[in-house]
Amino acid sequence: MLQNCHLSISWMPTLEQICESMEPDKIHPDFRLWLTSMPSESFPTSVLQNGVKITKEPPKGLRANLKSTYIKLDNEKVKRTNKPAEFQKLLFGLSFYHALVIERKKFGPLGWNIPYEFNDTDMDITAAQLELYVSAYAEIPYKVLQQLTSVVNYGGRITDDKDMRTSDTLIADFFNPQILKDDYTFSESGIYYSFRADKDAPHSSYLSYIESLPLNAMPEVFGMHDNANITCAITEVDNTFGIIQTLQPRVAAGGGISREDQIIDMAKAMAVQLPQKYDIEAISMLYPTDYHESLNTVLVQEAQRYNRLVGVSALYSFLKRLFLYYCLYLLLCR
C-alpha cells in the first residue's frame, strides 16, 4: 500500500512504468496494489484506468456531516473522560465546528477565500486532544483548545489570513464556558443548540437530536444572509459545468461544419420530430355540429385541447433541449 501518492509527483512516472511492466501471468493471485491520493492532475492516467477507483469525500449537508461523525462513536467513546457531561457538550461543539468548516466551501468566496480540503483526520486529532485536556485539567483550558484547533490542526491547511481569522471566530463560538449551558444556541433561530444528552444513553440521544435537524441548513447557521443561497447555487452550477467541460475532447477535429451549423442542424432535426397538430377546421367540416351526433362536438373540443397540450409540451421540450445545447456550445467556446 502506497499512501499519499500526490506528495510524490516526481516518482509517479516510475510508478506508471512499474505498473505497465507487471505481467498478469507472473503476479501472485493474492497480490493487490493499493494507492491513496488526493485529487491530482499529475496522477498517471493509465494507472487510474487499469484499477478500481474508490472515492471518499465528506457527505453533503450539515446534518449529514454531524451524523457521519457520531455514527462512528458509541456510549463508551462519548463518556471517555472524568468529566463526561462537559466532554459531551464540547465534543458536540467540535463536531459542529467540523461540519461548518466543511460546508462553508459551498458558498464560494463568502465561505472561504480558498476552498480547503478538511477531512476526518483533523477531527480525530482534535477530539483526542480535547479528551486529554478535559481529563488532565481541573478547569477546562478553552483558549488552549481554541489555538490547538483553529491554528494548529485545522489552521495547518489554511493559507489565507482572512480565512484564518474566520476560523478563529468560528471556534470561539464552540470552545467557551457558555457551551456548557443548556440554553446556549449556535444560531439565531435556536434550532441548533448545546444539546444535553441522556446520562444512560448519550450516543443514541445525540443521534436522535441530529436526525431532528433540518435536512438543508439555512445560511443563518453559518452567520450569513439568506441571499447566500444564491451564491451557493451559482457555485454548484459552475462546478457542474466545469466537470462537463473536462469531459470534452481536448483536440478539435479538423475540417467539417462549424459549431453554429451543428446547433442549427440539431434544432431543425428536433423541429421535424415534434408531433403535428390536428387541423381543427378540417375536423369541423368532416364532423359538423349535429343535434343527433353529440360526439362530433366532443371530438372537436378534444382535438382543440390536444393541440394546446402538444403546443405547450413541444415548446417546453424544444426550449429545454435548445438550452442544453446552447450551454454546451458556450463551454466549447471557452
Sign of the C-alpha dihedral computed for residues 235, 237, 239 and 241 taken in this order:
negative
> Are residues 276 and 154 both part of a single domain?
no
Q: Domain residues for 13? A: 5-49
Distance of CA 216 to the CA centre of its chain: 12
pLDDT at residue 321 in the model: 64
Residue 248's alpha-carbon distances to 243, 327, 328, 332, in angstroms, are 9, 13, 9, 8
> Are residues 100 and 191 both part of a single domain?
yes
Q: What is the mean pLDDT of the chain?
A: 84
Among the candidates 191, 226, 261, a domain finishes at: 226
Instruction: Calculate mean pLDDT across residues 49-74.
Output: 86
Sign of the C-alpha dihedral computed for residues 211, 214, 219 and 220 taken in this order:
negative
- Here the cell at position 33 is 496494489
Looking at 40-49, 91-100, 129-138, 143-152, which range is the least confident one? Answer: 40-49
> Are residues 160 and 299 both part of a single domain?
no
> Are residues 222 and 85 both part of a single domain?
yes
For residue 208, tell me if it sits in a domain: yes
Residues 102 and 65: beta-carbon distance below 8 Å: yes
> Are residues 195 and 286 both part of a single domain?
no
Instruction: Calculate mean pLDDT across residues 270-280.
Output: 75
Q: Which ranges constitute the DSSP H helices of the chain?
A: 12-21, 45-49, 62-70, 75-78, 84-103, 120-136, 142-147, 161-172, 202-211, 228-246, 259-273, 280-286, 294-333
> Are residues 23 and 78 both part of a single domain?
no
**Helix axis angle, 228-246 to 294-333, nearest 10°:** 80
The predicted-structure confidence for 30-46, as pLDDT tens digits, reads as follows 999 999 988 888 888 88
The predicted-structure confidence for 72-115, as pLDDT tens digits, reads as follows 898 888 888 889 999 999 999 999 999 999 999 888 888 899 98
Instruction: Calculate mean pLDDT across residues 136-155.
Output: 93
Number of domains in the chain: 3
pTM for the complete prediction?
0.64
The region, left, alpha or beta by phi > 0 then psi within -120 to 50, assigned to residue 192 is: beta
Distance of CA 187 to the CA centre of its chain: 22
Residue 116's alpha-carbon distances to 133, 146, 277, 331, in angstroms, are 27, 19, 55, 26
- First-to-last CA distance in the chain? 40
pLDDT at residue 301 in the model: 85
SS3 196: coil
pLDDT at residue 142 in the model: 94
> Are residues 17 and 45 both part of a single domain?
yes
The predicted-structure confidence for 175-232, as pLDDT tens digits, reads as follows 999 999 988 999 888 899 998 888 888 999 999 999 999 888 888 888 888 888 887 8
165: domain CATH number is: 1.10.8.720
In the predicted structure, residue 257 carries a pLDDT above the cut 80: no
